[in-house]
Amino acid sequence: MDPLPSRPGRPAPLIRASRALHVGAIGVVLVRPHWWPWALSAVAADHLLLAAGGLWPRSHLLGPNWTHLPPLAAGSPAEAPAPAAVAITIDDGPDPEVTSRVLDLLDEHDARATFCIGERVERHPALARAIVARQHEIGNHTYRHLMRFSLLGPRGVAQEIARAQEAIGVATGEVARFFRAPAGLRNPFLEPALTRANLQLVSWTRRGFDTVNRSAGRVLDSLTRDLRDGDILLLHDGHAARTPSGSPVILEVLPRLLRVLSAAQLAPITLRAALARASVPLLLSSASGVPS
């Protein structure tokens, strides 16, 4: 497998500004104690902004966050341009009822996807190995998929990431390179932990809310509205909602989605494949590490 670049390690501008504001607020209170209400108000406003950045899954305020695939690296003029592509990401599995059928559907269309998983990999290691064997990718989706993940401190965040990374490695021999937070919710402690683990945060361009929406048609409409090159789409093989006929929504959406992508000449590729063909200088622009 091609080597992949290390993650950029520099904090986002908002995080750097936030640190400076905290230091400044302490300094102000030390020099002018009676100004404490202003200092406290500034710190409180800063925390509100940080919380908003974490509760908005597609925000870039807390650090790098893929909401689209990165732009292609410039090739030589003689080189054929890479085909237009999208990434299908499939979360919360593996699921013994759904995942193998998803894999068959992807195979039928020669499509590749990225499955973001956690502790379920320990219950269904054979399915996880099948995902890898069929040339799809596995991403880290935290170990326990806690809905209070964004309320954890730095240690808890790091443990959730490390336990999932280890479980994925034990089951498949793979080292996950991408991370998705449960429901996309996070806090400022996430980005440093991802940098240390060499994981890239990925959210999505569009999602169909297929864990709650029972209409395959509406899920498909949400995913394909304004569909274009570089989109990242989100579906679920775990926690899938059921259509009125009792079928997991993804199994009705995926064949139709793959036909739409084929008609639009958009190749479904893994996130790793997108990174490998991307503009590396973009990714390393603020990196302290070197390609590993």
Binding site for Zn ion (CB under 5 A): 91-92
Please tell me the distance from the alpha carbon of residue 66 to that of residue 58, in angstroms, as a whole number.
Answer: 8
Our CB check for Zn ion shows the closer of 120 and 272 to be 120
Report in angstroms how near the CB of residue 176 gets to Zn ion at its nearest: 14
Our CB check for Zn ion shows the closer of 18 and 165 to be 165
Per-residue buried b or exposed e for 67-80, using 16+ beta carbons within 10 Å of the residue's own CB: bbbbebeeeeeeee
Q: Which residue is nearest to Zn ion (CB)?
A: 91
Residue position matching structure tokens 């509406």: 218
Our CB check for Zn ion shows the closer of 57 and 63 to be 57
Our CB check for Zn ion shows the closer of 42 and 183 to be 183
Output the DSSP codes for 91-110.
ES---TTTHHHHHHHHHHTT
Please tell me the distance from the alpha carbon of residue 144 to that of residue 120, in angstroms, as a whole number.
Answer: 9
Report in angstroms how near the CB of residue 179 gets to Zn ion at its nearest: 12
Selection from 87, 88, 93 nearest residue 237 by Cα: 93
Would you call 91 a catalytic residue per the annotation?
Answer: yes
Read off the tokens for 193. Answer: 């932990």
Q: Spot the catalytic one: 92, 124, 236, 237.
A: 236
Query: Which residues sit opposite 201 in a β-bridge?
Result: 179
Q: Spot the catalytic one: 46, 91, 92, 237.
A: 91
The DSSP letter of residue 290 is -
What amino acid positions are annotated as catalytic residues?
A: 91, 236
